[in-house]
Amino acid sequence: MQNAAMNIEDKGGDQLVLHVGPQHPGSGHFRIIVTVDGDYIVGAKPDPGYVHRGAEKMAEYRDYIQNIPHLERPVIIDATGVTLPYVLTAEKIIDVEAPDRAQYIRMIMAELNRIISHLYWLGIYGIFLGHSTMFMWPMGDRELFIDLAESIGGTRVTFSYVVPGGVRNDMPTNFKERALKTFDYFEKRIEEYKKIFFNNPLMSARTEGIGTMDKKDAIRLGITGSNLRACGIDSDTRKDETYCLYDRVDFEIPTRKEGDSYARCIVRLEELQQSMNIMKQVFDLIEPGPIKQVIGGVMRGEPGEAFVRTEAARGTMFYHIVSDGEKNPYRVKISVPSFRNLIGMTHLLVGSRLADMPAIYWSLDYWPVEADR
């Protein structure tokens, strides 16, 4: 209680310490302690951990199947993105492999989730820049993709759909037609987004040249995902370390050279199109067949360890599982992209104006729940 009462602190001179969050329209479940000198930020100290729920420790009490639901809660916005690397790692430990059809359905779900997550991000970014229309449009279009994902996974956001050995159930028969109809509609919408938001002079004035990240700094600080690609580095785990069947589809990695907030936005917008392209190709490649390799009895891992890196919506998601041959994993280590982007946020905030803080903060697509685990 004592430290909660302290919100503004006088550092002497012209400097003032401001606590932004956790009850703040912009911060979410996160606090950042900024030192301002006039209008400029001279120091930024992040204070994460408001949603630390001990997912890694809890994973040690549960067996491989029971772990799936609670490991997807850190990023329910991108549920398949966070459970897929866990399942791929568990498959290495348990020594099973999913059939081709299951791999393709996993790819569809992962890409659908990427779109859902990016659209949520875009809606909130609109609010951050004071653009209410840009909240309403992506949130409305997001529901269409949620409907698609719901028809496969069964629930709105938390599917627990990917399991070791395959996927839980097959996708509906008319899924391809429904999906293609939605994509046709959404491709037109992307042009409208550009008209109202991305080519809007107010939007570019607030984001262009704001929070510019250098290419070298991005590598030094370990930035991942779209934030790294916005700095001109075409790194994508889907191509670098292929998993599922991403090597059979052809897609581009959108990059920008500028590394500012605008570049990060436009990279994410182009990723929406690429995700749809991937799914269209998967619809042509997918063939009827089994969706699951049935594992008899309780899953037990071989003693040993395994790790898998995948590309989630926010960047590289990394799982490391150590097994001692029991039905529970001995240790599950999750390395999440948001936590690494947090380091970049501190780097970007220092030297910028206080008014630019929302534009920088949310352009990194920092999701506090994911970072805290």
Partner 1 sequence: MVNDPTLNLLVGKASDILDNTLEKNVREPIRFLVNWGRLYSLWPVHLETACCSIEFGAASGPRHDVERFGMLEAFGSLRQCDVLVVQGTVTRKMAPRMKWVYEQMPEPKWVIAMGACAISGGLYMDSYNVLQGVDKIVPVDVYIPGCPPRPETLIQGIIELQNKIRKSKV
**Interface with partner 1 includes 296 (CB under 8 A)?**
no
**Interface with partner 1 includes 220 (CB under 8 A)?**
no
**Interface with partner 1 includes 353 (CB under 8 A)?**
no
Question: Which of 54/303 has CB closer to partner 1?
Answer: 54
**Interface with partner 1 includes 93 (CB under 8 A)?**
no
**Interface with partner 1 includes 209 (CB under 8 A)?**
no
Question: Which of 30/243 has CB closer to partner 1?
Answer: 30
Closest distance of CB 3 from partner 1, Å: 9
Select from 342, 337, 357, 333 the least CA-distant residue to 86.
333
292 contacts 98 by C-beta, under 8 angstroms:
yes
Closest distance of CB 5 from partner 1, Å: 8
Closest distance of CB 280 from partner 1, Å: 25
**Interface with partner 1 includes 24 (CB under 8 A)?**
yes
Can you tell me the distance from the alpha carbon of 259 to that of 257, in angstroms, rounded to the nearest whole number?
6
**Interface with partner 1 includes 294 (CB under 8 A)?**
no
Closest distance of CB 250 from partner 1, Å: 32
**Interface with partner 1 includes 331 (CB under 8 A)?**
no
Q: Which of residues 42-61 bind partner 1 (CB under 8 A)?
A: 49-54, 57-58, 61
Tokens, residue 88: 């791929």
Closest distance of CB 31 from partner 1, Å: 9
Exposure string of 179-209, with b = 16+ CB inside 10 Å and e = fewer, is beebbeebeebbeebeeebbeeeebbebbee
**Interface with partner 1 includes 1 (CB under 8 A)?**
yes
Name which position in 16, 139, 190, 322 contacts partner 1 (CB under 8 A): 139
Site for partner 1 (CB under 8 A): how many residues? 38
CA dihedral 208, 237, 366, 335 (to 10 degrees): -150
Single-letter code of the amino acid located at 362: W
Tokens, residue 294: 């049935």
CA 165 to chain centre: 24
**Stretch in the footprint of partner 1 (CB under 8 A) among 16-24, 285-293, 347-355, 358-366:** 16-24
Can you tell me the distance from the alpha carbon of 366 to that of 32, in angstroms, rounded to the nearest whole number?
12
**Interface with partner 1 includes 32 (CB under 8 A)?**
no
Question: Which of 156/248 has CB closer to partner 1?
Answer: 156
Closest distance of CB 29 from partner 1, Å: 5
Name which position in 140, 290, 303, 351 contacts partner 1 (CB under 8 A): 140
Select from 113, 170, 171 the least CA-distant residue to 146.
113
Q: Which of residues 94-123 bind partner 1 (CB under 8 A)?
A: 120, 123
Tokens, residue 92: 């290495």
Beta strand pairing status for 331-335 and 166-167? unpaired
**Stretch in the footprint of partner 1 (CB under 8 A) among 32-40, 105-113, 151-159, 337-345:** 151-159
Single-letter code of the amino acid located at 219: I
Q: What is the DSSP letter of 45?
A: E
Closest distance of CB 146 from partner 1, Å: 8
Name which position in 157, 180, 343, 350 contacts partner 1 (CB under 8 A): 157
Select from 154, 77, 76, 128 the least CA-distant residue to 264.
128
212 contacts 259 by C-beta, under 8 angstroms:
yes
- What x/- string results for residues 272 through 291 when contact with partner 1 is judged by CB under 8 A? --------------------
Beta strand pairing status for 315-323 and 331-335? antiparallel
Write the burial class of residue 222 (CB in 10 Å: 0-12 exposed, 13-18 middle, 19+ buried).
middle
**Interface with partner 1 includes 28 (CB under 8 A)?**
yes
10: left (phi over 0), alpha (psi -120 to 50) or beta: beta
Closest distance of CB 20 from partner 1, Å: 13
Q: Classify the C-alpha dihedral 38-41-45-51 as positive or negative.
A: positive
Residues of this chain that interact with partner 1 (CB under 8 A) are 1, 4-5, 22-25, 28-29, 49-54, 57-58, 61, 69-70, 73-77, 120, 123-124, 135-136, 139-140, 142-143, 156-158, 369
